[in-house]
Amino acid sequence: MAGIFARVSSLLLKEATAKSVLSLQCLRVVRPICTSSGLRSLTRYDETAVSTDWQKKLTPEQYVVTREKGTEVPFSGIYLNHNEVGMYHCVCCDTPLFSSESKYDSETGWPSFCEAHGTWERDESHANILRRPDNSLGSTGTEVICKHCDAHLGHVFEDGPDPTGQRFCINSVALSFKARTK
């Protein structure tokens, strides 16, 4: 009887070990999530797995701003003094980002918005933007990126108008505009 118990225990142990090894091997299938040199994305897999060739899809200026975190020259953007009613979308993936109703003139040289589309009070969980800490401006700031494609859009500052107190300074080349149909 003890011999049978030993054999059954041995078989169960081998099966359990095989299952745990298989599950560990399944867990090892980890995809690196990189967006650019050394920065890890919270939303995207490795760009080599993404089929979009951004350099072919975008103009050189759009590529530098959205994929390499560049900034357009102040007071040069096509949407700086744009007052048409509609929605501003991500130039890379066409996701709606900002409503014209939240746009205002901050006199800073870039189109400015007081809140992202989909924001409810201060809750941005339904908005199509993400905030990311950024130290590239010489001081600690907050970068704004597209939630769907990780495109760099601009920065947000806490010196905007009431009621939000926020100023989203967004590069015009990172946006496309769709007028509201009547």
Q: Specify whether 90 is catalytic.
A: no
Is the pLDDT at 28 greater than 70, yes or no?
A: no
Q: Which of 90, 114, 149, 169 is catalytic?
A: 169
Q: What is the rounded distance in angstroms from the CA atom of residue 107 to the CA atom of residue 62? A: 23
Query: 3-class DSSP state for residue 60?
Result: helix
pLDDT at 52: 77
Torsion angle defined by CA atoms of residues 74, 99, 44 and 33, in that order, rounded to the nearest 10 degrees = 40
Task: Name the CATH superfamily for 57-179.
Answer: Peptide methionine sulfoxide reductase. (2.170.150.20)
Q: What average pLDDT does the chain have? A: 80
Q: Where are the domains of the chain?
A: 1-30, 57-179
Q: Is the pLDDT of residue 114 over 60?
A: yes
Q: Rounded to whole angstroms, what are the CA distances from 10 to 4, 52, 129? A: 10, 52, 54
At residue 68, φ and ψ (nearest 5 deg) are: -115, 10
- Structure tokens belonging to residue 109: 């040289």
Tell me what pLDDT residue 19 has.
43
Please count the CA atoms within 13 angstroms of the CA of 77 that sit on its side-chain side. 27
Q: Which of 90, 96, 93 is nearest to 52 (CA)?
A: 93
Whole-model pTM? 0.71
**How confident is the model over 131-166, as pLDDT tens digits?**
999 987 677 889 999 999 999 999 999 999 988 899
Who wins on pLDDT, 22 or 180?
Answer: 180
- pLDDT of 64-109, one tens digit each? 999 999 999 999 999 999 999 999 999 999 999 999 999 999 999 9
Res 122: pLDDT: 80
More confident residue, 9 or 164: 164
Q: Label residue 18 by pLDDT band (50, 70, 90).
A: very low
Q: Identify the pLDDT of residue 1.
A: 54
Q: Does the pLDDT at position 32 exceed 70? A: no
